[in-house]
A and B are shown apart, each in its own frame.
Chain A
Amino acid sequence: MSTVTHDDKHDVEDAGKRDFLYIATGAVGAVGAALVAWPLINQMNPDASVKALATVEVDLAPIVEGQAVILKWRGNPVIIRHRTKAEIELAKAVKMEELVDSVARNANVKDGDAATDENRVVGGKQQFLVMMGVCTHLGCVPQGNLGDYGVVEGSAKTGGWFCPCHGSHYDTAGRIRKGPAPENLHVPKYQYLTDTKIRIG
């Protein structure tokens, strides 16, 4: 550049202008890339039609004591079990320090509340245990009346869940007791519409 017959002042001005254009273009490019990246990334999150399937209503009356039903809510199984008195007693007898995860994991109580049997259900209705059939380890469906923490009556076992994938045992309140799963089975948000009817979601 030195051999060209520009005067010095012009050169300096020119350099400033180039620096400005260089930095400005780079900045616009970086901000632009970030702005465009967000829609490209966010499109993978649940879409409106998936979110629209947010609630499901269930009549609990036909579920007799000792019976469990599984239904699908937002693509996942929900387990509803009408627990026997023995199952409830067994769950209540467990001390908090025996639990692997002492947090209720119930969307209907305060975050961090203790995992007592009362805090695993809603509205004091101890007999109905409603929870996600999604193992908190890697998402398989735990199988009912299996595992080491059910009520044993002779050769029969009632209550308790066992995940066949990697061997997690849950007790009669759906709390993790043994195996690789880190948390109790999650209780989804639900409310009683009548005495025997709930809405999940």
Chain B
Amino acid sequence: MSGQSNYIPTSAVGKWFHERLPIYALLKETAIDFPTPKNLNYWWTFGGILTFMLLSQIITGIILVMHYTPQVDLAFAAKEHIVRDVNYGWLIQKLHEVGSSMFFMAVYIHMFRGMYFGSYKAPREVLWMIGVLIYLVMMATAFMGYVLPWGQMSFWGAKVITNLFSAIPLVGESVTTWLWGGYSVDNPTLNRFFSLHYLLPFVLAGIVGLHIWALHVPGNNNPTGINHKVGQDTVPFHPYYTAKDGYALALFMLFFAFWVFYRPDFLGHAINYEKANALVTPLHIVPEWYYLPFYAILRAIPSKLGGVIAMFSSILVLFVLPWLDTSRVRSGNYRPLFKGFFWVFVVVCGVLCFLGSKPAEGTYVIWARICTAYYFAHFFIILPLIGLLENPKPVPSSISEAVLAKRSNLKLAPAE
């Protein structure tokens, strides 16, 4: 969307600077004047919320590192020291820990929004794939961060997840030894996870830059899914969406604050307040809630390699989603059949999340298998088929028409 900015420096200093580094023109073009569809709903505010969460995690993380020691004998005590002794450490540590849950909550809403409104479809495939990459890096970052407090769940979570790589035929064992820097999760592992946990958020920030770049080429999708015409269908990003995103962000921060101040430990595991012990596995080990659906898929398959393949496939399938959905209509609002299946899919993900938190026995395993089968069927059978079978509702010819139609409906409402 280059050429949207009409920035002409007025002052002599501004002109002098603009000729040497036109950074303000770039900012004005991408974050102020950027033409944005005027009908974006609140589901669209999670991009901004996610940017805030990344920033919040980086800031609180940098502060935590000022008081932390990545050494197996000291790490557990260091975390307690932060919470008990460091000024406002209790707040900063919890903002970071609860923040990771908020970050994932927001990213899941953001992803489901993209799925419902067909935001992955042409011409936004690369935008979507960069998003999936961001999600993968987020998962790796959060996993390594969870190891740093060196509690029982940190240790055994790290051991189980790194052991996933031992399922690789032939080289599996060498790969896990290499990842650990030893024959088990130990001090070298903690050290390298600390190093990478510090690095990856900055990598994330870089990929987020690419994500926004890829977004600014076609511009935002919108609830109607039809292409916008610059001018009649759009408003400048600032002040319209800075205000809307800001309002949503304020509400989200209230939600965030509720967890931090009133339920700081609800999303974690009590067993992680016990120091890591390489000789005792906790009776029931589970990952953080945001990994549970994938954990359920891993355990649903009664074979080591098969389970690992299914788990990774369940995430990697998102990369090819743009080509699995055969419908030419983007927005789920105009796809009656898809709309139903979309919500079934959301519920199945929720059920998988619940099953991942339960022990892998009895009916839980059976349900996990059914849901795993459905999860993959949604991508490989249902999406391709309903695109061909369903009769989409007529889409409006322009965003303005859709917006005006909605308004006249609202006006009629009291008369009914």
Q: Which residues of A contact B (CB under 8 A)?
A: 41, 44-47, 50, 70, 72, 74-77, 133-134, 136-141, 143, 163-167, 179-182
Contact = CB atoms under 8 A, between A and B. Distances in A.
Interface residues of B, number: 37
Contact of A138 (B164, B180, B181): B164
Contacts, number: 91
Given A72-B279, A140-B285, A45 B304 contact: no
B133 interface: no
Report, nearest first, the 3 A-B pairs whose CB atoms are least far apart.
A75-B184, A138-B163, A139-B163
Interface string B360-399: 1100000000000000000000000000000000000000
Given A74-B182, A74-B184, 5 more contacts: A137-B163, A165-B156, A166-B360, A167-B361, A180-B307
A137 B305 CA distance: 9
B276 to A, nearest CB: 11
B278 A45 contact: no
Contacts of B346: none
Contacts of A180: 299, 301-304, 307
Contacts of B279: 70, 72, 77, 133, 141
A70, A72, A134, A140: residue with the most chain B Cβ atoms closer than 10 Å: A140
B59 interface: no
A180 B300 CA distance: 10
Nearest to B185: A75
A136 B279 CA distance: 15
Interface string B161-200: 0111010000000000111111111101000100000000
A72 B182 contact: no
A53 to B, nearest CB: 9
B94 interface: no
Contacts of B304: 136-138, 180-182
Nearest to B186: A75
B160 A47 contact: no
Interface of B is mostly: loop
Contacts of B282: 164
B184 A45 contact: no
Nearest to B280: A141
Nearest to A181: B304
B411 interface: no
Contacts of B160: 138-140, 165
Nearest to B283: A164
A46 B284 contact: no
B147 to A, nearest CB: 14
A76 to B, nearest CB: 5
30 contacts: A44-B188, A45-B177, A45-B178, A46-B183, A50-B182, A50-B188, A75-B185, A76-B278, A133-B279, A138-B159, A138-B160, A138-B166, A139-B159, A139-B160, A139-B162, A139-B163, A139-B166, A139-B184, A140-B156, A140-B159, A141-B280, A141-B281, A165-B156, A165-B281, A166-B299, A166-B360, A167-B360, A180-B299, A182-B303, A182-B305
Contacts of A47: 181, 188
Contact of A164 (B162, B185, B281): B281
A72 B183 CA distance: 11
A165 B285 contact: yes
A166 B360 CA distance: 6
A182 B168 CA distance: 12
A77 to B, nearest CB: 5
Contacts of A41: 178
B183 A76 contact: yes
A179 to B, nearest CB: 8
Interface string B188-230: 1000100000000000000000000000000000000000000
Contacts of A46: 177, 180-183, 188
Nearest to A178: B302
Contacts of B156: 140, 165
Contacts of A143: 281
Contact of A75 (B183, B283, B301): B183
Contacts of B361: 167
Nearest to B299: A166
A181 B305 CA distance: 10
Nearest to A137: B304
A76 B184 contact: yes
A47 B187 CA distance: 11
Contacts of B305: 182
B278 A77 contact: yes
Contacts of B303: 180, 182
A71 to B, nearest CB: 8
A134 B281 CA distance: 10
Nearest to A163: B281
Nearest to A75: B184
A41 B179 CA distance: 10
A164 B284 CA distance: 7
Interface in B58-114: none
Nearest to B286: A165
Contacts of A165: 156, 160, 281, 285
Contacts of B166: 138-139
A163 B186 CA distance: 21
Contact of B183 (A74, A136, A137, A179): A74
A139 to B, nearest CB: 4
